[in-house]
Amino acid sequence: MEDYITVKIADYKVAKGTQKLITRDLGSCVAVALRDPEKRIGGLLHVMLPYSIQDVEENQYPKYADSGITTLVNKLYQMGADKKKLVAKIAGAAHIIRTPGVPEEQDISSRNLKAVREKLTELSIPILAQEVEDYIPRTVIFEPQTGELVIKTVGKADKKI
């Protein structure tokens, strides 16, 4: 069994070298994998909600798409990554939680995905690949050295993006 660094819900981790990052049970949440391909440094964020509230405590930043992505970018920069060279891969935002009267394009998964895309665009970080929406939970494994993001879903073959 390989050794993984686990990223819990509303958290992030960074790695370099051959270390791999894993986050499990992505439903309406979004996994954001950021990487500097030249330095082979990367991180994985498990976004739970779209936008942080005013005066949110620093330890809650990873919970939100906007503050979590900024926090991850800053951490990667501290590790030596070049902010101008960062690229992203994203997964998740499944329509798991359905609320009567709320259209899918307005549910929490869609709002999470929109917030992630907005923040990455704001920071000029291109999304190289994505596996989003649908109705199934996912587990993702990110290898910063190669940039490979493996998506695992029950009853399906693993997908590499």
What digits encode the pLDDT tens for the residues 26-57? 999 999 999 999 999 999 999 999 999 877 78
pTM score, whole prediction = 0.93
Burial 129-144 (b: 16+ CB within 10 A, else e): bbbbeeeebbbbbbbb
Domain ranges of the chain: 4-160
Does residue 29 carry a catalytic annotation?
Answer: yes
- What residue has token string 């990052």? 21
What's the pLDDT score for residue 17?
86
Catalytic residue (one of 15, 21, 26, 29): 29
Domain range 4-160, its CATH number among 3.30.1330.200, 3.30.565.10, 3.30.530.20, 2.60.40.1290: 3.30.1330.200
Q: Which tokens in the block code for residue 39?
A: 């330095």
What digits encode the pLDDT tens for the residues 69-126? 999 999 999 999 999 999 999 999 998 877 777 677 788 999 999 999 999 999 999 9
What's the pLDDT score for residue 86?
98
Q: What are phi and psi of 41, to 5 degrees?
A: -110, 140
